[in-house]
Amino acid sequence: MADLEGSVVAKDYGIGRAQKTPGFHIKGAGQLDYGMRHRLSRIFREDGKTVMLAFDHGYFQGPTSGLERVDLSIVPLAPYADALMATRGIIRSVVPASNNNALVLRASGGPSILKDLSNERLAMDIEDAVRIDAAAVAVQVFIGGEHETQSIQNLTTMVDEGLRVGIPVLGVTAVGKELVRDSRYLGLSTRIIAELGAQLVKTYFCEEGFEEVTAGCPVPIIMAGGKKLPVTDALTMAHKAMDQGAAGVDMGRNIFQRQSPEAMIRAVNAVVHAGAPPAEAEKIYRDLSGGAQD
């Protein structure tokens, strides 16, 4: 069995040498079956990047600020998102079936904010993801959490089911209050998730060593948004993540809790798809919002 030292001293990430993906534009996906590639192509544009809008928060915390009425706050933003990350309940009840966004369905859940969040189980069947026409399903993984093994089993079960029907799995790194979001922890979590079969991974940004996190993960990493930050900080974080190898962002509160969510998602698009520097993206936000101050 490998010893822990190999992980402690890992350092040759080949920074600057992109991983080759023969025959396809999405990292690590060149050898997947047609259906998987077709679905991933709905999430990631031809530039291999994605703006995913996350509004699945209600599955464990109820009517979150900004999501009280998803029909009013989120549906108008859909044209600016490549992919929507949500629960099947909200998709079926609120999101128009005529929308052409890629749908990333939350597939794990169980505990509310009143309980231990790591005690999740799978919360939907892969057949339902097929019925809904999901481009991917999302499973939370709690590395270092109380129910780590159970959450890993949720992931691997869904990976097996996804491979059966051609639906990719987004493994989501969940960071508990007691765990530090540094590159060592995020590198550990994202690599485990990819090794166990997820075709894409969502994780937080870290100021030090994020480039090593993305380099050490053989599938696309999508940066998680987190709690609302000042607009300059949120756009800077997105820009740094993209610059350091992320394949996109999956942002929720930093978009829908803004004074102008539409201006923000358009600014985020400029960062992700046009490589806009933070100052330019912030100007887009200020101009389109008519001078919002948040």
- 111 is a site residue for ligand R5P (CB under 6 A): no
- 239 is a site residue for ligand R5P (CB under 6 A): no
At position 14, the amino acid (one-letter code) is G
Among 29, 222, 251, 265, binds ligand R5P (CB under 6 A): 251
Stretch that binds ligand R5P, among 53-61, 67-75, 143-151, 261-269 (CB under 6 A): 53-61
Residue among 36 and 222 whose Cβ is closer to ligand R5P: 222
Residue 279: CB minimum distance to ligand R5P, A: 22
Residues 146-175 that bind ligand R5P (CB under 6 A): 172
Residue 194: CB minimum distance to ligand R5P, A: 17
Residue among 32 and 141 whose Cβ is closer to ligand R5P: 141
Among 28, 109, 162, 252, binds ligand R5P (CB under 6 A): 252
Stretch that binds ligand R5P, among 2-10, 125-133, 222-230, 270-278 (CB under 6 A): 222-230
Rounded Cα distance between 257 and 92, Å, is: 23
- 54 is a site residue for ligand R5P (CB under 6 A): yes
Residue 156: CB minimum distance to ligand R5P, A: 19
8 Å CB contact between 53 and 78 = yes
Residues 253-292 that bind ligand R5P (CB under 6 A): 253-254
- 56 is a site residue for ligand R5P (CB under 6 A): yes
- 200 is a site residue for ligand R5P (CB under 6 A): no
- 91 is a site residue for ligand R5P (CB under 6 A): no
Stretch that binds ligand R5P, among 125-133, 142-150, 223-231, 283-291 (CB under 6 A): 223-231
Q: Among the options 27, 49, 202, 240, which is catalytic?
A: 202
Stretch that binds ligand R5P, among 52-60, 97-105, 154-162, 180-188 (CB under 6 A): 52-60
Residue among 32 and 70 whose Cβ is closer to ligand R5P: 70
- 57 is a site residue for ligand R5P (CB under 6 A): yes
Residues 172-191 that bind ligand R5P (CB under 6 A): 172
Pairing verdict, β 221-224 and 169-173:
unpaired
Our measurement of the distance from residue 253's CA atom to the centroid of its chain's CA atoms, rounded to an integer in Å, reads 13
8 Å CB contact between 199 and 169 = yes
Per the annotation, the verdict on 115 as an active-site residue is: no
At position 278, the amino acid (one-letter code) is P
Phi-psi region of 51 (alpha: psi -120 to 50; beta: other; left: phi over 0): beta
The total of other beta-carbon atoms located within 10 Å of residue 27's CB is: 24
**130, HSE (Cβ side, Cα atoms, 13 Å):** 11
Rounded Cα distance between 175 and 185, Å, is: 9
Q: Which segments of 62-147 does DSSP mark as H helices, in order?
A: 70-73, 88-94, 126-132
Contacts 24+ apart (CB under 8 A), 262-270: 262/76, 262/77, 262/80, 262/288, 263/287, 263/288, 263/289, 263/292, 264/231, 264/234, 264/289, 265/51, 265/53, 265/77, 265/80, 265/81, 266/80, 267/231, 267/235, 268/51, 268/235, 268/238, 269/51, 269/80
> In 76-215, which ranges are E strands?
83-86, 102-106, 108-109, 121-122, 136-141, 169-173, 200-203
Residue 168: CB minimum distance to ligand R5P, A: 16
Catalytic residues: 202
Q: Which residues bind ligand R5P (CB under 6 A)?
A: 54, 56-57, 85, 172, 224-226, 251-254
